[in-house]
Amino acid sequence: MQYLVSVIDDGTGPDTPTEQAAIDAFNDRLRAEGHWVFAGGLGSPEPATVVDNRNGEAFLTDGPFVESKEYMAGFWIIEAADLDKALKLATEGSKACNRKIEVRPFL
Amino acid sequence: MNRTDVGEAITRAHHEQWARVVAALARRFGDLDIAEEAAAEAFATAVARWPADGVPPNPGGWLTTTATRKAIDRIRREHRRDDKQREAQMVHDDDPPEPLGAVDDERLRLIFTCCHPALAMETRVALTLRMVGGLTMPEIARAFLVQETTMAQRITRAKAKIKAAGIPYRVPSAEDLPARVSGVLAVLFLVFNEGYLATGPDSDPVRHDLTAEAIRLTRLVRALLPQDGEVAGLLALMLLTEARRTARVSSTGELVSLDQQDRGAWDAALVAEGHRLVRERLAAGKPPGRYQVLAAINAVHTSARDVRDTDWSQVVALYDQLVRLDPSPIVALNRAVAVAELDGPEVALAAVDRLEGTLAGYHAFHATRADLLRRLGRSQESRAAYDAAIGLAGNTAEIAYLTRRRDQLG
């Protein structure tokens, strides 16, 4: 199964060099053990733009679709046999990037 | 075989085989919904067929085979993804069995799945009572003091999460086991309690099938984790409670309170085993958890040959320890019952009355008040409290006991 592992940030500060190194090491391990699908970091929500073209006329809104103190700062897409394995990896990922993490299965 | 015998055979099969059938199907199909629905259909088929065809020689095997066919039919009808491949796997189930992991019991797999830490604690317990205990939705709702629809939604959501999130159907590996046990113990304790004081108007007042199943599964967990104090404590607590089972309901189907029980009717072997476990935990010299303290309280009760010999100061001291571990209003209520013996009913009543805000919907709160008011000679108030308790109680033997006590009031 594939899981979206989202990194939850509350804007307390940028990644430290230690966190960056830990994330790199964790990524290497994901690749080596065959769990890696994709990963990426995201810019902060402020420059986000919401597009609504449901009525055939694009309506643009400046800012994220939801106002919240916490936001998604990055994610991994991993391949794991089941939720136990995904949670184990997420536990290590949370430590590596020093953030809370949400695990959701792909349909 | 007449209709009554067949009815009893079906009831017995439901008690003994429900969890086995569900567990076997959950393992084979990897889907709790399919397992549960097919098991329910198999029991419905038994109700329709057994009166005419007779009870099969191996009811469990018959039910599992019938449920498996029902499940395959259902999957065919629903045209699921990977239909053909799954079907082939199901019809020719000759794969070597999966290694069972640390515990060689199908039902324990089912319990660990239902008790997965990714599910909320109350959901784990509800799901296990439904899937493993075979309890009905109203029974589970009563055990939790919530609405039936709320409970049904909770269980539906849990099953959907197990499926969608990929919660595995297996006993956790040895390294993950200790962390997963506390949820399992909570579940087993609630299954035991539902058996010891069954809540349904149509069920036996004591459901030995559930208490026996809870004890059997707790023994399995103990074999797995012999050093875990709380596992030992819970087993001791169950054994010391179960030992009193036959003395707890009179020949007229009425609950017999602890002080009125014929102590000669207690099961001496279970008492001895329970005491042995409590002593083992005391010798370990580690701070006890709540099950160990509850077991110790029951050890004090079962050590007294006559109720007058009960060491109430020790019981109250143990309850003080329990309040620190588990400051719930129900623990406070039970502590007050012991306080009544040590310091008198007036002191106990004051403590009980402080709990009204949280426990007004709980029958034992009113039953305790009724008894204390009776002892204080406040008959009018006692009668009203008995009425409230009777209105809220679900256990038939307890209702009979409370009704007689009320009617004895002058």
Span of B115-119, B158-162, B250-254, B366-370 with lowest mean pLDDT = B250-254
In chain A, how long is the greatest CA-to-CA distance?
47
Looking at residue B348, its pLDDT comes to 96
Q: Is residue B48's pLDDT more than 50?
A: yes
Q: What average pLDDT score do residues A78-87 get?
A: 96
Span of A55-64, B106-115, B325-334 with lowest mean pLDDT = B106-115
Q: How far apart are CA B251 and CA B269, in angstroms?
A: 23
Interface of B with A in 327-366 (CB under 8 A): none
Q: How far apart are CA A29 and CA A34, in angstroms?
A: 8
Q: What average pLDDT score do residues A86-96 get?
A: 96
pTM of the model: 0.74
Residue identified by tokens 């404590």 is B233
Supply the Cα-derived Rg of chain A in whole angstroms: 16
Q: How far apart are the first and last CA of chain A?
A: 9
Contacts of A86 in chain B (CB under 8 A): 166
Confidence of residue A16 (pLDDT cuts 50, 70, 90): confident
Looking at residue B50, its pLDDT comes to 94
How far away is chain A from the Cα of B155, in angstroms, using its nearest Cα? 19
Q: How far apart are CA B107 and CA B128, in angstroms?
A: 10
How far away is chain A from the Cα of B290, in angstroms, using its nearest Cα? 28
Other CB atoms closer than 10 Å to residue B102's CB: what's the count?
Answer: 17
How far away is chain B from the Cα of A78, in angstroms, using its nearest Cα? 13
Looking at residue A106, its pLDDT comes to 95
* Span B151-177, pLDDT tens digits: 899 999 999 999 999 999 888 888 888
Confidence of residue B328 (pLDDT cuts 50, 70, 90): very high
* Chain A contact present for B118, CB below 8 A: yes
- Strand, coil or helix: what is B104? coil
Put simply, the answer to whether A107 touches B164 (Cβ < 8 Å) is yes
Confidence of residue B190 (pLDDT cuts 50, 70, 90): confident
Looking at residue B51, its pLDDT comes to 92
Query: Which residues on adjacent β-strands are paired with residue A78?
Result: A3, A36
Supply the Cα-derived Rg of chain B in whole angstroms: 23
Put simply, the answer to whether B118 touches A81 (Cβ < 8 Å) is no
Q: How far apart are CA A43 and CA A48, in angstroms?
A: 9
Span of A38-42, B98-102, B117-121, B241-245 with lowest mean pLDDT = B98-102
* Span B273-309, pLDDT tens digits: 999 999 999 999 999 999 999 999 999 999 998 999 9
Amino acid letter, B176: D
* Span B6-40, pLDDT tens digits: 889 998 898 788 888 999 999 888 889 899 999 99
Looking at residue B81, its pLDDT comes to 56
Which of the pair, B15 or B264, is modelled with greater confidence? B264
Q: Residue B170's closest chain A neighbor by CA?
A: A84
Q: Is residue B102's pLDDT more than 50?
A: no
Closest CA to A15 of A101, A96, A103: A96
Confidence of residue B97 (pLDDT cuts 50, 70, 90): very low
Confidence of residue A82 (pLDDT cuts 50, 70, 90): very high
Closest CA to B226 of B177, B299, B188: B177
Q: Is residue B391's pLDDT more than 70?
A: yes
Angle subtended by helix axes B229-242 and B268-284, to nearest 10: 160
* Span B59-81, pLDDT tens digits: 999 999 999 999 999 888 876 55
Q: How far apart are CA B210 and CA B193, in angstroms?
A: 9
What does the block give as tokens for A8? 């939850």
Contacts of B30 in chain A (CB under 8 A): none
* Chain A contact present for B176, CB below 8 A: yes
Domain spans in chain B, listed from the N-terminal domain onward:
3-92, 105-226
Mutation target among A3, A35, A78, A82 for the B interface, most CBs of B within 10 A: A82
Confidence of residue B84 (pLDDT cuts 50, 70, 90): low
Q: How far apart are CA A79 and CA B260, in angstroms?
A: 62
Looking at residue B100, its pLDDT comes to 43
Contacts of B116 in chain A (CB under 8 A): 83
What percent of chain B lies above the pLDDT cut of 70? 91
Number of residues assigned to chain B: 410
* Chain A contact present for B115, CB below 8 A: no
Residue identified by tokens 């303290």 is B293
CATH of span A2-105: 3.30.70.1060
Contacts of A87 in chain B (CB under 8 A): 118
